Structure 1
């Protein structure tokens, strides 16, 4: 099964899995959503175009064997007015808001949701100036809801930032994501047996405290390399 993750663009927007191309739950407040009823696709495309021009990348699309299988969308909370209606709003000043996250039911259970969230985190780390991602989780999500289950958010690295009986505000610090990535890559190196090769002509060193002719014991552990997951 071949997976590919691409940036969200106006070209791949119409092919988003589910109702991603027409859902404006996060982008617009309830009054505006009612006014543009029947023109959701045009409004969504206009929003994506504006964000790409004025802020940068705001989404990822994952495909399986060439078929769109899921997507994730994020932005500064100022541009996702649907979040204003939650009792635990507003989002923290150092965070962006995680909006639409969807994986086609046919492809759930294979870790695609985590792949999307990790792709988002990598992009935000490169963007700079962002400390965290926040969103609103649902303790009792309804089928087809645009709000992610709290259990899923907890499983991929979010924690409860402001509790609520129905829709708590959840937070994932990007520093934690970086640490997780470093640990993952170090473990992968051990499994794959990747070891840094010494330079061809190393300069002889005389470690302080060792007698001539005595060699220092060298660990064979690979050096850690710096480096950084919405639905089911």
Structure 2
């Protein structure tokens, strides 16, 4: 199974899940987002936002492909580019941090470490650009069923996902905690390949590592005169 991480561009934007491709929850303020969804074309609005952010600031997303299939994505930007960021009770984002807007892994590929891989890709990218930390608004009730019987799934990633990969809560809230990850922490993570290699090496004795066992060849018969 091959996994490939790429940056979000106007070309790869088309590989986002259809519902996310046409969602402008983060890119517009609440009033403008409602107007775009009711009377405009949210897909064009999202494309315009990505284009402007790429030109003015740089890479603002990552996608991961598994065997050539889009399997997940993450989007990020400075809070100044994300009008919705000021609408949360735990805002504002810290001045030294970039906002991780959302992270999503397609269900068939869930629990395969792709979310962690995406966040580490963001960390590598932002470290090169002098950023020290990323912050996110998590959803503490993601996936719960509300009183009306509706499943609580929105445009935020679960708070549990962020804490499971090392984010720390900097401002608690019963629904929308703000969490933070120092980029040097993410860069210290070991890849799945490294973990697999360590497991393999750990099962072998030092002697077998230094002195590999050679295959035993069957004895050959000699002809008697």
TM range (shorter): 0.7 to 0.9
TM-score by length of 1: 0.76
Q: CA deviation at 1:176?
A: 2.2
CA distance in 1, matches of 2:3, 2:32: 36
TM-align CA RMSD? 2.0
1:32 maps to 2:44: no
Deviations 1:114-161 (A, max 9, x none): 111110111001111x22100111211144311121111101110000
Structure 2 residue aligned with 1:132: 133
Q: CA deviation at 1:18?
A: 4.8
| Change over 3 Å in CA distance of 1:173–1:136 after alignment to 2 | same
Structure 2 residue aligned with 1:223: none
Q: CA deviation at 1:188?
A: 3.9
CA distance in 2, matches of 1:18, 1:155: 27
Match for residue 91 of structure 2 among 89, 92, 97: 89
1:176 maps to 2:178: no
SS of the residue aligned with 1:19?
Answer: helix
Contact 1:17 1:103 in 2 (8 A): no
CA distance in 1, matches of 2:125, 2:23: 23
1:161 maps to 2:170: yes
Structure 2 residue aligned with 1:6: 6
Structure 2 residue aligned with 1:212: none
Larger relative contact order (Cα-Cα within 8 Å, sequence gap ≥ 6): 1
Whose helix fraction is larger, Structure 1's or Structure 2's?
Answer: 2
SS of the residue aligned with 2:11?
Answer: coil
Structure 1 residue aligned with 2:44: 42
> How do 1:5-154 residues align onto structure 2 when only pairs under 5 Å count?
5-37=5-37, 38-128=40-130, 130-142=131-143, 143-154=152-163
Q: Rg: which structure is higher?
A: 2
CA distance in 2, matches of 1:68, 1:188: 24
Deviations 1:33-79 (A, max 9, x none): 01212411100000010011110111101111111111000000011
Contact 1:134 1:172 in 2 (8 A): yes
| Change over 3 Å in CA distance of 1:47–1:39 after alignment to 2 | same
Unaligned segments of structure 1, at least 5 residues:
194-232
How many residues are matched?
188
Misfit runs of 4+, over 3 Å:
187-193
